[in-house]
Amino acid sequence: MTSKLNKEEKELTGKSVPRKKGLEGIYERQEFIENLDKKIDWLKKDFYPDEMVRGNIENYLGTAKIPVGIAGPLLINGDHAQGEFYIPLATTEGSLVASYNRGMTVIKKSGGCKVKIFEDGMHRAPMFRFSSLTEAEKFTKWLKNNIDIMKEAASKTTSHGRLDDIDIYNLGRTVYVRFGFFTADAAGMNMVNLASYAICKKIQSTYPHWNAVESFHLASKFCSDKKYSQINVLKGRGKKVTAEVEINKEVLENLLRTTPERINSSFIDGTLSGMYCGATSNGFHAANGLTALFIACGQDVANIAECHADIWDIRLTDDGVYFAITLPSLIVGTVGGGTNLPTQKECLNILGCKGTDKSLKFAEIVASVVLAGEISLVGAITSEEWVTAHEKYGRNKE
């Protein structure tokens, strides 16, 4: 294959990206890419000062901008989120904001949705491999009798979080220990990593038969970090949240142009179809609303891999349909991470969710947004308006 690189490109190819910090480093990296004859005019516009994004990104070059739409009002009757909220959604998918907005209108016309949080904790699961089954059994018994030692070790690493519980899973000579932490208003990934490391170092120095450990890993895939898993659906990771609403027949017909019977049939047939093809949940598109809200509000978007598995419950009522969604593994925070970036902070402030003592409120809002999106989409599918809606709003016609 003939190389099409010009002389300057050949000189730059293979060189490391400039790593200098500060404004000078940003300019150096921009020039480095432009010397490869690549235009980055939009990436260069309105970039943040280096100190503002330090801790969020390395080798900072510029800022990718995603359009933010606003939907609402969304009426929520939660324990922490109460009243009407306007929802910022960052997306490039046409028709998405309009669809969620319609679902929110349906919820408001139905008196609002009720929300409950059933679990709240972040998990890390180290693994220990032993020389024999007998040694694995000894370790399991020791763990159960020494939880206080582990709680003390964790407490020395954080003033906000705490070790609440441990679950032990045995697989032959391997012992998986699933630590459950309360992380206050942070999503808590870094917090639980540091605490888990301290716990394991304490185990290493305290357990009398440590020489029987053949291998140890602080993070086994048993955590299912940023991966869907059935254990996180059953046991939860992050916050387990349910949002529900009852919608009467008149609202269904006027706003969604469908009927309770069609909705119920879609739920039954869709759940069966999902089971047959091996789908991970019976919901429609929780990932859409979660991703749009996560980007707008500075959440770790990669967590969508495990957060998206919503579980639907639909029942016919005397006058319409009961809708409920459960998010068993919702990972959100209102402090730390990307929540301190300027536009993300503003979006959280739109919701009244920036800072301490706000993570439960934010979780209730997130679940309510997912509920609105699911209601709107099932309405569009059962009224056969789904394709025409995308045709109208979702095509980038030139």
**Is residue 46 annotated as a catalytic residue, yes or no?**
no
Q: Which of 28, 50, 93, 246 is catalytic?
A: 93
| Residues 257, 259, 263, 269, CA torsion sign | negative
Token code pair at residue 18: 């400039």
What is the pLDDT at residue 392?
Answer: 62
pTM, two decimal places: 0.92
User: Residue ranges of the chain with pLDDT lower than 70?
Assistant: 1-13, 386-398
What is the pLDDT at residue 1?
Answer: 40
Token code pair at residue 64: 């990718």
Chain-wide mean pLDDT for the chain? 92
Q: Which residues are CB-contacts of 117 (< 8 A; sequence separation ≥ 6)?
A: 79, 80, 239, 240, 241, 360, 363, 364
What is the pLDDT at residue 247?
Answer: 98
User: For the chain, what is the largest distance between any 2 Cα atoms, rounded to a whole number of angstroms?
Assistant: 76
Contact 281/207 with Cβ under 8 angstroms?
A: no
Q: Which of 80, 160, 217, 390 is catalytic?
A: 390
C-alpha to C-alpha distance for 85 and 103, rounded to whole angstroms? 13
Contact 160/186 with Cβ under 8 angstroms?
A: yes
Q: Which residues are CB-contacts of 185 (< 8 A; sequence separation ≥ 6)?
A: 160, 333, 334, 335, 355, 356, 357, 358, 359
Domains and CATH numbers, the chain: 34-65 (no CATH), 68-119+236-393 (3.90.770.10), 126-219 (3.30.70.420)
What is the pLDDT at residue 223?
Answer: 87
Strand partners, 244: 114, 324
Q: Which of 246, 253, 300, 385 is catalytic?
A: 300
